[in-house]
Structure 1
C-alpha cells in the first residue's frame, strides 16, 4: 500500500507499526523517525517564515485565520503523481496540521480515489485506537495490536506506581506568548501521571489565559509544553514562565515528541510527567525528555 501521511503523528504511528517503507509522502513537520524527510517526498509546507518568536507566530496565525487564509500549503500535483492508496490526515486543529477538507478538495481536483483516514483523537484511548486503525488499514494489524498491548502495559505500570499518592495540582502551558492552557488529551496525561490538572479542558480546545488568572489556579507545578517545540525551546520559554510565576516549581518537557503529538510516544510523555510529579516512585526518564527549571 502507498501511504501519504499529512500529519506528523500519523507518520510516527505508521513507522511504529512497521509501515515506514510504505510512506510515499510526508509533511515538513514530520521528524520521527529521524531522517524521514530525506527519504520521503514532502508535499505539505507552511507559509509562515522560520525564526519567529512565540508571540510573532501567534500574531501571524491570528492574522491568517482572520483573513481566511490556510495555515498549510499542499502540493496537490506532487501528491497526485505519488498516487497514494491511503492518506492519513486530521480535522482536529487547523493550526496544527492540514485539515482533511483541504485534502479532499485536492483529491477532487486531481480526480484521485485515494482513501482518506482522518485521525482526530480526544483521549489516550482514542490515540491507541488510531494506532490500531492505521495498522489494520495499512496491512500491519498484528504489529499494531502488539504495540497497543505494550503501551497499555506501560500505562498500567505508571498507574500502579502513582496509586494512592498525593496528587499535585498541575498547570500545563501549551503556549507562553500569550499563555494557552492545554486541552484535548493533555489533562488526561496529567491524571495518568498522578497529578490533578487545573485550567485545561478535557477533550476541549486549548484556551488563552492571563498570567494573573494562571496564578489564581494555585498550581503546585507548572509544566511548560509549547506546541510543536522540543526540549531546548521549552526550557527557554520555561525560564520566562519562572519569572512570571515566581512562587511555583516549573518543569519543561519536549512537547513536540511527548505531549501534543497524538502517537505512541504519548506514553513516554506520561512516564516523564509521572517522574516529575513523583520522582521517588517512578524511574527517571532518559535525558532529553523533561527538565526541572525550578524545583
Structure 2
C-alpha cells in the first residue's frame, strides 16, 4: 500500500508499525522514522516565515487565523504524483498540521479516490486507538495489536512505579510568549507520570494565560515544552523566561518528539516525566530528552 502521511504523528505511527517503506509522501516536519523526508515526496510545507521567536510565531498565527489564511501549503501536484492509496491527516489543530478538509478538497480536484483517515486523538487512549486504526486501514492489524500491547505494558509499568508516591503539582508550558497552558493529552501525561497538572485540562484545548495567572497555580515544578520544538530550543526558551517562572525546579523537554506529537513516543515522554518527578522510581531517560534548567 502507498501511504501519504500529512501529519508527523501519523508518520511516526506508520514507522512504528514497521511500514516505513510504504510511505510515499510526508510533510516538511516529519522526522520519525529517521530519514523519511529523504525517501519520500514532501507535499506539505509551512506558510509561516522562518526565524521567528515565540512571540513572532504567535502574532503571525493569530493574524493569519483572523484573516482566514492557511498555516500550511499543500503541493497538490506532488501529492498526485505520489499516487497514494491511503492518506493520513487530521482536524485536531489547524496550527499544528494541514486540516483534512483541505486534503479532501484537493483529492476531489485531482480526481483521486485515495482512502482518507483522520488521526484526531485527544487522549492517550485515543492515541492508542489511532495506532490500531492506522494499522487496520494499512492492512496490518496484527502489527498494530502488538505495538499497542507493548505500549500498554510500558504505561502499566510506570503506573506501578509511581503508585502511592506524593504527587507534585507540575506546570507544563506549551508556549512561552505568551504563556500557554496545555490541553489534549498533555495534562494526562503529567498524571500518568505521577504528578498533578497545575493548569490545563485533559482532553481540552491549550489556552493562553497571563504570568499572573501562572503565579496563582502553585506549581512545585515547571516543565518547558514549547509546541513543535526540540530540546535545545526548549532549553533556550526556558532561559528566556526563567526569571518569570514560578519558584522551584525547571526542566526543559523535547516537546516535538515526546509531548505534543500524538504518536507512540508519548509513552517515552511519560517515562521521561516520571523520572523527573520521581527520581529512582523509573530508569533515567536517554540523553537528549529532558534537561534540568534550574
**Is the TM value for this pair above 0.5?**
yes
Q: Secondary structure at the match of 2:257?
A: helix
Correspondence for 1:252: 252
Q: Hey, what does 1:231 align to over in structure 2?
A: 231
1:91 and 2:91 aligned? yes
* Secondary structure of 1:223 counterpart: strand
Match of 1:122, SS state, is coil
Give the distance between the partners of 2:201 and 2:80, measured in 1 at CA: 39
How much does 1:257 deviate?
0.2
1:139 pairs with 2:131? no
Question: Counterparts of 1:26-37 in structure 2 under 5 Å?
Answer: 26-37=26-37
Cα separation, 2, equivalents of 1:99 and 1:249: 37
Structure 1 residue 246: Cα displacement: 5.1
- Corresponding residue number in structure 2 for 1:128: 128
Whether 2:65 is the aligned partner of 1:59: answer no
Distance 1:128 1:9 in 2: 12
> Does the 8 A contact of 1:179 with 1:210 survive in 2?
yes
Total equivalences in the alignment: 294
Corresponding residue number in structure 2 for 1:8: 8
CA distance in 2, matches of 1:167, 1:241: 25
The 3-state SS of whatever aligns with 2:226 is coil
1:26 is paired with a residue whose SS is strand
Q: Which runs of no fewer than 5 residues in structure 1 stay unpaired?
A: none
What secondary structure sits across from 1:105 in the alignment?
A: helix
CA drift of 1:47 comes to: 1.5
| Map 1:1-295 → 2, pairs under 5 A | 1-245=1-245, 247-294=247-294
1:143 positional shift? 1.4
Q: Helix, strand or coil: the match of 1:64?
A: helix
CA drift of 1:77 comes to 1.7
TM-score scaled by length of structure 1 = 0.98
Q: State how far apart, in whole Å, the 2-side matches of 1:32 and 1:275 are.
A: 24
Residues 18 and 140, structure 1, Cα contact 8 Å, conserved in 2: no
CA distance in 2, matches of 1:15, 1:172: 28
Is contact 2:220–2:247 with CA below 8 Å preserved after alignment?
no
SS of the aligned residue for 1:61 comes to helix
CA distance in 2, matches of 1:290, 1:75: 35
Give the distance between the partners of 1:48 and 1:226, measured in 2 at CA. 17
Structure 1 residue 179 displacement after superposition? 0.4
**How far apart, in 1, do the equivalents of 2:49 and 2:34 lie?**
23
Q: CA deviation at 1:287?
A: 0.5
| Deviation beyond 3 Å, 4+ runs, structure 1 | none
Alpha-carbon distance in structure 2 between the residues aligned to 1:180 and 1:205:
10
Query: C-alpha deviations, 1:6-57, integer Å up to 9, x for none?
Result: 0000000001101111111000010111111111010000121211111111
Measure, in 1, the Cα distance between the counterparts of 2:245 and 2:56.
22
